[in-house]
Structure 1
Amino acid sequence: MKLGWSNVLGGIGVAVALLGKAAFARKPVALDLQQRLAMLPLKNAPTTAAVTIRWNDRQVPFIEAAHDVDLMVALGVVHAHLRLGQIEVMRRIAYGRVAEMIGPLGVEVDRSLRLFDFGRAVPAMLDSMGQEDRQLAEGFVAGINHVLLDGGEKPAEFKLLGFNVEPWTLSDLLTVGRLAAADISWLVWMRLLPQRERLAPAVWSALWSRLLTGGMPSSLAAQERNLGERALAAMLRSGSNSAAVAARRTRSGAAMIASDPHLPLGLPNPWLIVGMHSPGFHCVGVMMPALPFMLLGRNRWIAWGATSLHAQASDLYDVSAQSVEAIRTRTVTVRARGARSRRLRLRESEFGPIVSDGPLLSSKQPLALRWMGHQPSHEIGAMLGVARARDWGSFQQALRGYGVSGINVVFAGNDGRVAHVLAAHLPKRTHEAPDDLVLQPSAAKHWHQVADTMGMPVRLDPPEGFVASANERPRCGDFPVGYFFAPPARGERLAALLSGPQPLDMDDLRLVQRDVIGPGSLRLRDALLAAWPRSPRHAGQQRLQDALNYWNGDYSEDSIGALAFELLLAGVAGRLNDKRLLRAYQTVWMTQSLLLEDFAALPEETLRKAIEQALPLAVKQLKKHVRWGDAHRIRLKHPLGYLPGFARFFNAPAFASGGGNNTVHKTGHLLHTGRHEASFGSCARHISDLSDLDANDFVLLGGQDGWAGSANYLDQIKLWQRGEYIRVPLRLKSVQSAFAHVTVLTPASSPEPSPGH
């Protein structure tokens, strides 16, 4: 059963209708910063001492605590204050409770989510968690509950999606963490399994071989028309750029770092900017809501960034030959909003849950999932260790406990050193590429040996004076970490920008993060021009051809060439390629490379005729839109903004954007023959210069606050467009000067804070 997104929206609409027309009859009340901060429950906090939280005008917090556990409590308070609706949706998705939010249409989505069984390893993780990590994590949970249970006003998600107030547990925190660690391979499989079943075996085999030549889940992963796919894609760290520059290559004489993660574009932003100070932690960075650690950040001694490794921590096995006795069955009850509860039978094999019984990985064959996330690992402890590391050795050692999902981690130290390391737990497969997406049970032998960070390639102090990661294929190691990676274009562009003769400063890194030159598209442009029709051309066709001839790969908003190229490419590809094959191409970021191969294999006359057929529409659309930014737009949408009549309450107005699929400033899109919206790409930026404790700049595409109507809900969009940043210092005196809004959490036994606090 395949659930279209429009049907799911209908299900949400039915659920909302159950509340009555008055449920949300007017625009959210506009709240300024002081009004939002006044909503914080400051008294009777579960801390041992008072904790000061300073806020800047963008509602970015800097927490000062006398005890590490109190710091974590305050972090939980901050996450819940800013993003309670967001993290409550994540919690229900992690447990397969979508039907409780939207009604019966969510039942089959819940079947798939419960088959993925995100919480399977949680009991073992709890048993093996160190005492200090447990105390810190429990403090974070206590902070969330302090906001959740205080009885104050709840965000709109509670009323519209029918949430009851349910205290968080440490198990909830770890289960949501496993949702965030969902394997990126699953999104590839969701798209390719239907093609595998529909195409002739020989056609599928040839296609599979081509896809394996290099690629990874593309921007299509953010174009899900299925609720389950949307839920997974929203959490997957499926892209990103990160680079560290050694001290000898910078103007300041200290190392620098720059990172910009790529995720589905939407509201609230998938990141939070936070600063903190306690006896054990003194750092600034960005965090994912409901995860108590910084994936990108900087402390007094080091800085770190991360990109998705695209590691394949999962395999699908054909278990059709398994005996009936070897298949176990469990029954679960799914509550559906506005309808009776449903009982679902979930099957399990020795190779893992039979995920093909659910709609997200549906198949005629029974397919079992083996996932590294079903085994215990300790991401919280690893990343808290990173935040406290003081040098390369302690940094690398801290990452040993990090299992899923795999990440490239970029390191910069205050000694000027830089490094790039892979962090993941992965089966040690052979270098021989799999001959199919679905494996036979005999291939499970590769899971008998598991490698961690210490067994993977490391680049330390390279001669070029920098390291950069853009999701490209890792350098050779003892075993393959995955099969689908980004094309090298972004990584090569990053290297070109960082390797010039002049030393670099933070202004240079700001320009790098906004770079929209995509030279990798020019080979495909040249192939189109080489087969250009010989027939007489009217003015519109000549204008389009001229735009292509003079184009240098620039994807800026004002680029005429980028628009001409993308319009023509989409038209030609649609005429030459079987739609099923094209859908498969667009499941990986190697679409342009695969199309170039196809075009090169065609008789020139066939390609010329396709260009001739595509030209009229391309010319029409070029005349209509003129420049790339007129057709290429960003519209930030909130999940509740998909509801009829609710867009104006929750969504941001669309705006023109530069960038493309393979530019450093990434704004991912499908092949389009007209106006379209980018839905995947850069959504946060971080730059630090380790010569200055205060030189830490951040910005989000959206805002800090997830509360619709808040002054800080959308207030960073203009900063983002102008290439500006928010400075978050580490020096406490600088924080006290720049973060003027002060709130104090007080424990039950403490006296009221004195005036001035």
Structure 2
Amino acid sequence: MPTDSTRPAARSGAPAGTTKLFGAFRLALRAWGGALRTGAPEPLDLQARLSMVAADGAPVESPVVIRWSDQQIPFIEAESDRDLAVALGIVHAHLRLAQIEMMRRVATGRLSETIGAAAFPLDQGLRTIDFMSAGRQAARALSPEAEAWTRGFLDGLNHQIAAVRKQPHEFEVLGIEAAPWSFEELMAVTRLASTDFTWRVWMQLMKLRARSDWSDTWARLIGEELPEPSLAGGGIAAAGLEFFGRGGSNAYAVSGARTAGGKPILAGDPHLPLQLPNMWLIAGMKSPTLHAVGMMVPAVPVLGLGRNRHIAWGGTNLHAASSELVDLGPEPAGLTSRTERIRVRWGRDHEIAVRDSPVGPVISDASVLRMGQGRAVALHWIGHRASDEVSALLNVARARDWQGFLGALDGYAVPGLNLVYADADGHIGEAMAATLPRRPHARADDLISQPEALDHWRSLATTRGLPHRLDPEEGYVASANNAPPRSDIQISRFFSPDDRVNRLRELLGQAEGLTVGGIIPLQWDVLSPPALRLRDRLLPILVEAQGVDNAFANALRGWDGRYSEDSAGALAFELLVFHLVRRLHEGQVRDVYLASWDPWPLLHRDLDTIPRDRLVPVMAASAGAAGRPFRRLRIWGNAHRLRLGHALSRLPLVGGRYLVEERPIGGSNETLMKSRHGFSGGRHTVTFGSQARHIFDMADEDENHFVLLGGQDGWLGSSTFADQARLWREGRHLRVPLRPETVRAEFPHVTEIRPAGPGG
């Protein structure tokens, strides 16, 4: 077994760069051929889709009734909790079979089996992180009730899969088939959905850390006058983690003193990759101990956000410091090694050596992380320890008050969340759902910690030991991935800028007589006061510059700070900043801007420190370069584009079959209507942002409103695959009532799940 710090070589010759490139080309060619062979997805109306639910011979004790809305949103009524879990499993497999199959293959590091050698580095990284082992640890912690619930969900999942007569279109294109799930695989997917935001930060910064000027770069990013950086990105691995984790969100609750109904309203919008199928599905449910509506991550058997008759909850990613990269030193001790075989489609299988240390997997062995050939580095993650999130979230869905809510969360660990709360008695609150080491506040010297940093992990803080508050004076709580109030321990080193949360506080602080309809403009708000402040600093320099196009200058001068689709000023501002950074900085320094989620403080510092006689000519050149695309594009929406489609929409020639729409979109990186983009000198596609919305009015059990950017159904060709995209675009929502009698009146389509007869 290798025990030195060098990376063990993969056996059987791991695919080299040329082989991976050829594998990617071969994947595209095979997928293109499969799409040509299978033709366009067959159109299916709602009745045809509902006929595909495996209603007979289900592993339930009594009949279960599922009522469906016209958008294929289910409301399940079951006579036992376990039967409810089974029905939820059936629903998830029915609606999202292809999507959850890909999630399973990611969680188990088996993408190469599906898409070939191009996925080998990612599979190697996934096997090293070892979500299967993390899932087994989570399974060990399950309460008997939570295990029975999860196994019931698994039974429903496998019942639907066993009944499949027609494979999803993606399976036909890729040449794969539906197969039953194991309990271990399901638990691995729950851990995949709990990935740590910090990992994505590390992946981006690792590219900078390999440079000779890393010490200066790190100091620049975390200078005393700046917060530590909020970063994102990092290539294919980071993109995969971003897709399955919770990258960001807005969430807020307003007290009854500010609402028309005299009771709190809770609302939010998760931010995730803008791709179909959506990473959420909407569901309602009623059993002896559960009566709730909300949103679920496919293949995860609990509500992620929602409401019952008494309380509502939503939240944002806490960006919690629940992981540590640990330097194992020049001669790491106690390493073990196992051999993993990775099957590669259209190529040879490969064996890799995966090393573990006493503190966690040796993550530096994964080539996808680009850590180089230096010292061995381990990943210490709270998700590799035993914790029972299933019980926690089931009990949140049952909670009746603030104390019940806090108590349910006290054993919760990953992913770290900042949750907002409201109840029918009129209370609102905010709490952290996380398990964190009691790490003191200190500036980090590097991304990678020394082993003594793990001393802080000997004592852990849970929800009741982390900051939480009830009924604040201001009459609202708001969260937007921002830094929470300072506490005795370090919650994280990486937060989003305060732009969104400050805008929420401004708007909620002005709210009077707020209604569900009054929340919708907040969700569509595209004003960026920080952008306006930066514009105001740039204008005097622009005035001194020579030869600036009048139309360009007037658009910038007249801009109101809103990133609306028809804004010429937003376009002028973004083009100017892009070219200004390019001309102020070259090479390695510019990379710092490109890596940062919030580069504007860096630009403000440049304006403070760079002499005026240099800034003015650079501004003139930048405005001249920005003027050309400005004249061509004219408004922000012509540059800032939403391309909403299935992953297969990227295929050449046939991709149009899988593209729902390509259109202008408003918003920006840190507007409330988030639509993230990088520095751009022209037309670009938005790939991440607001992709689901919810509003709960505690004055009425039935006033629960949702909309997905896309649709409920993941089945290509289904009438409900993307039927909500228009609603989302028009600022409309779908009501999902809680009262059974209202459900019966408004959800007209009925499926009865029937148990097997006496003979099986």
How far the C-alpha of 1:699 sits from its partner, in A, is 0.2
Aligned residue in 2 for 1:333: 341
Question: Could you say if the C-alpha distance between residues 451 and 4 of structure 1 is closer, same or farther in structure 2, counting changes exceeding 3 Å?
Answer: farther
- In the other structure, the counterpart of 2:245 is 236
Q: Retained in 2: the 8 A contact 1:211–1:588?
A: no
Distance 1:108 1:201, change over 3 A: closer
Task: Please give the alpha-carbon distance, in whole angstroms, between the structure 2 residues aligned to 1:295 and 1:211.
Answer: 37
Please name the residue that 1:457 is paired with.
467
User: Which residues of 2 match residues 438-457 of structure 1 at below 5 A?
Assistant: 438-457=448-467
For residues 4 and 504 of structure 1, the distance between their equivalents in structure 2, rounded to whole angstroms, comes to 57
Correspondence for 2:420 among 410, 427, 443: 410
Q: 1:206 deviation in Å?
A: 1.9
Are 1:641 and 2:649 an aligned pair?
yes
What is the CA–CA distance in structure 1 between the aligned matches of 2:70 and 2:21, rounded to whole Å? 38
Whether 1:275 aligns to 2:257 is no
Name the CA distance, whole Å, in 2 between partners of 1:501 and 1:75: 38
Partner of 1:663: 671
CA contact (8 A) 1:63 1:74 kept: yes
Q: Helix, strand or coil for the counterpart of 2:581?
A: helix
Q: Would the aligned equivalents of 2:46 and 2:70 in 1 still touch at CA under 8 Å?
A: yes
State the AA in 2 paired with 1:426.
L
Q: Cα distance, 1:18 vs. partner? A: 8.6
Length-normalised TM-score, structure 1: 0.94
**C-alpha distance 684-21 of structure 1, shift in aligned 2 (>3 A):** closer
**1:497 Cα deviation after fit:** 0.6
Per-residue deviation, 1:409? 0.4
Scaled by the length of structure 2, what TM-score is found? 0.94
Report the residue type matching 1:374 in the other structure.
H
Deviation at 1:8, TM superposition (A): 6.8
CA shift in 2, pair 1:400/1:581, >3 Å: farther
Q: Measure, in 2, the Cα distance between the counterparts of 1:607 and 1:288.
A: 49
| AA in 2 matched with 1:176 | V
Task: Find the counterpart in structure 2 of residue 690 from structure 1.
Answer: 698
Separation of aligned partners in 2, 1:86 and 1:724: 26
For each residue in 1:226-261, what CA deviation from the matched residue of structure 2 results, as whole angstroms up to 9, or x when unmatched? Answer: 2x2222110121110000111122110111101100
Alignment map for 1:379-458 (pairs within 5 Å)? 379-458=389-468
CA apart distance, 1:335 = 0.9
Counterparts of 2:742 and 2:379, CA distance in 1:
51
Structure 1 counterpart of 2:518, which letter?
D
- Which 5+ residue runs of structure 2 have no aligned equivalent? 1-13
**1:61 matches 2:93:** no
Question: Of residues 41, 46, 67 in structure 2, which corresponds to 1:28?
Answer: 41
- String of CA shifts for 1:87-106, please: whole Å, max 9, x gaps: 01001111111111111222
Query: Where does residue 93 of structure 1 map in the other structure?
Result: 106
Counterpart check, 1:610 vs 2:606: no
Q: 1:193 to 1:630 in 2, by over 3 A?
A: same
Q: Which amino acid aligns with 2:540?
A: A
SS in 1 for 2:368: coil
Structural mapping, 1:30-49, within 5 Å: 30-49=43-62
Cα 1:19–1:469 shift into 2, 3 Å? closer
1:679 — aligned with what?
687
- After superposition, give the CA deviation of every residue in 1:177-203 in whole Å (9 maximum; x if it has no partner): 111111111111111112111132442
Deviation of 1:67 after TM superposition, in Å, equals: 1.1
Aligned positions of 1:87-236 closer than 5 A:
87-210=100-223, 213-214=226-227, 217-218=230-231, 220-221=232-233, 225-226=235-236, 228-236=237-245
Query: Which residue does the alignment assign to 2:588?
Result: 580
Q: Which structure 2 residues correspond to residues 356-395 of structure 1 after superposition, within 5 A?
A: 356-364=364-372, 365=374, 366-395=376-405
Shift of residue 707, structure 1, vs aligned partner: 1.0
For residue 416 of structure 1, what is the amino acid of its counterpart?
G
Conserved in 1, the CA contact under 8 Å of 2:32 and 2:654?
Answer: no
Please show how residues 708-723 of structure 1 align to structure 2 within 5 Å. Answer: 708-723=716-731
Q: Is the contact made by 2:637 and 2:665 (CA closer than 8 Å) also made in structure 1?
A: yes
Summarize deviations over 1:307-363 as a string: whole Å, max 9, x none. Answer: 00001211112223234x533221111111122221101122223211111123222
Counterparts of residues 257-272 of structure 1 (less than 5 Å) = 257-272=266-281
| Cα distance change, pair 109–708 in 1 and its aligned pair in 2 (3 A) | same
Residue 302 of structure 1: how far off its partner (Å): 0.5
Q: 1:52·1:742 contact (CA, 8 Å) conserved in 2?
A: yes
- C-alpha distance in 1, partners of 2:16/2:249? 29
Partner of 2:6: none
Greater Cα offset, 365-374 or 633-642: 633-642
Asked if the contact 2:23/2:116 (under 8 Å) is kept, the reply is: no
- Alignment partner, residue 297 of structure 2: 288
**Equivalent residue letter for 1:145:** N
Q: Which residue of 1 aligns with 2:9?
A: none
Change (3 A) 1:618 1:6: farther
Amino acid at match of 2:673: H
CA contact under 8 A between 2:325 and 2:447: conserved in structure 1?
Answer: yes
CA shift digits 1:149-208 (9 cap, x unpaired)? 114212123233343433212221211011111111111111111211113244234234
The residue aligned with 2:497 is 487
Residue matched to 1:499:
509
Kindly indicate whether the alpha-carbon contact (under 8 Å) linking 1:13 and 1:643 is maintained by their aligned counterparts in 2: no
Q: What's 1:755 paired with?
A: none
Give the corresponding residue for 2:328.
Answer: 319
| Cα displacement (A) at 1:561 | 1.0
Deviates more, 1:558-567 or 1:573-582: 573-582
Aligned length: 745
Q: 2:313 aligns to what SS in structure 1? A: strand
Question: 1:125–1:644: structure 2 CA closer, same or farther, 3 Å change rule?
Answer: same
Q: Which stretch shows the higher mean deviation, 574-583 or 503-512?
A: 574-583
Report the aligned-residue RMSD.
2.3
Provide closer, same or farther for how the CA distance between residues 649 and 419 of structure 1 changes in structure 2, counting only shifts above 3 A. Answer: same
Closer, same or farther: CA 164–21 of 1 in aligned 2, 3 Å: closer
Listed one character per residue, the Cα deviations across residues 247-283 of structure 1 (whole Å, up to 9, x for unaligned) are 1221101111011000111111111011111111111
Classify the secondary structure of the residue corresponding to 2:622: helix
Amino acid at match of 1:442: E
Of 357-366 and 694-703, more deviation after overlay is shown by 357-366
**Displacement of 1:7 after TM fit?**
5.9
Instruction: Render the CA deviation track for 1:362-397: whole Å, top value 9, x for unaligned.
Output: 223221111111101111111111111011110110
* More moved, 718-727 vs 338-347: 338-347
Q: Which residue in the other structure is 2:739 paired with?
A: 731
